[in-house]
């Protein structure tokens, strides 16, 4: 189940009936209502039936309204705790916020993204991806725009422990590289929304060529997640006032770090030497001033 039930509700809206959408919008408008309201009260507030509310809960993967209510209460409690931690009434960034408020709100959002990503981690999927990377002849990493930065980070980490890993920010080159992968290779694709056409296509052609494909995305039922063999889910909610990917990038980087550490654990002792060599090679040379 999604670590952030409100994100799950938000993503469900486009596929809901009109009556179910009213339930979703009411929950998103004020999640605390669900904590306080019984199913009949929520149905009355949404001008719909008990069965519609129950059906909505089940469409999200819950057994019924009671389980949905508990999940929403947990999410609300965590959000309130995070706001209290930074002395905030809300983490939404406003145009008139002072620098200190912006810093506190961004910190709260990004810490929340890391915590939710860690709590929602699928350990079995992580291990499958890590073991595949350890045994791979080559790892091709796909990612465009802001996700390209995360892809570069993973490529550099894997290269430091002697893995053959590559990433291209050029969508045509990355698609070409994905198309010539084989069953000996792994393709890791990174996309926050999971709908970047070039990345999804890259996974499709790599999978058809026989490579194991791994998706890192925040949407577990996205086109990318559906196309991939292994799915690792991040959890981040971007501010409506964002100027660029913020929380989503932090969540991706956290997940990449977790994946890398697991790869190192499975590789064992052989990684010590390349890590030491790359550290020494990159260390700055100091000249004696002679003074």
Residue that the structure tokens 């799950």 belong to: 8
Greatest Cα pair distance in the chain? 85
Under CATH, which number does the domain 123-278 receive?
3.40.50.10490
* Residue-wise pLDDT tens digits, 169-200: 999 999 999 999 999 999 999 999 999 999 99
Helix 65-85 / helix 99-119 crossing angle, nearest 10 deg: 140
Under CATH, which number does the domain 5-85 receive?
1.10.10.10
Per-domain residue ranges for the chain?
A: 5-85, 123-278
pTM: 0.74
Cα–Cα distance for residue pair 156/143, rounded to 1 Å: 14
Cα–Cα distance for residue pair 95/93, rounded to 1 Å: 7
Contact 53, 46 (CB under 8 A): yes
> 245 pLDDT exceeds 80?
no
Cα–Cα distance for residue pair 75/122, rounded to 1 Å: 19
Distances (CA, A) of 116 to 34, 77, 122, 249, 291: 21, 13, 12, 14, 53
Indicate the SS3 state at residue 271.
helix
What is the pLDDT at residue 1?
A: 47
* Residue-wise pLDDT tens digits, 61-101: 899 999 998 888 887 776 666 666 666 666 677 778 788 88
């Amino acid at each position: 189940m999604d670590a952030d039930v409100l994100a799950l509700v938000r993503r469900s809206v486009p596929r809901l009936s009109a009556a179910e959408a009213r339930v979703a919008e009411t929950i998103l408008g004020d999640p605390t209502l669900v904590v306080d309201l019984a199913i009949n009260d929520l149905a009355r507030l949404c001008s719909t039936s008990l069965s519609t509310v129950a059906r909505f809960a089940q469409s999200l993967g819950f057994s019924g309204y009671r389980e949905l209510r508990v999940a929403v209460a947990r999410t609300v409690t965590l959000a309130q705790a995070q706001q209290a931690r930074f002395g905030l009434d809300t983490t939404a960034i406003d145009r008139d916020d002072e620098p200190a408020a912006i810093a506190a709100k961004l910190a709260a959002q990004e810490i929340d993204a890391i915590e939710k990503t860690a709590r929602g981690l699928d350990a079995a999927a992580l291990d499958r991806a890590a073991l595949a990377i350890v045994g791979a002849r080559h790892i091709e990493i796909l990612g465009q725009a802001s996700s390209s930065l995360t892809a570069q980070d993973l490529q550099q980490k894997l290269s430091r422990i002697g893995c053959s890993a590559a990433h291209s920010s050029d969508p045509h080159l990355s698609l070409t590289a994905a198309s010539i992968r084989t069953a000996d290779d792994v393709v890791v694709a990174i996309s926050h929304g999971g709908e970047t056409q070039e990345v999804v296509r890259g996974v499709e052609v790599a999978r058809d060529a026989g490579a194991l494909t791994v998706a890192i995305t925040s949407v577990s039922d996205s086109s990318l997640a559906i196309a991939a063999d292994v799915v690792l889910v991040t959890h981040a909610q971007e501010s409506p006032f964002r100027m660029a990917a913020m929380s989503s990038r932090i969540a991706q980087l956290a997940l990449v770090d977790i994946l890398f550490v697991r790869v190192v654990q499975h590789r064992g002792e052989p990684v010590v030497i390349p890590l030491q060599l790359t550290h020494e090679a990159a260390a700055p040379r100091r000249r004696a001033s002679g003074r």
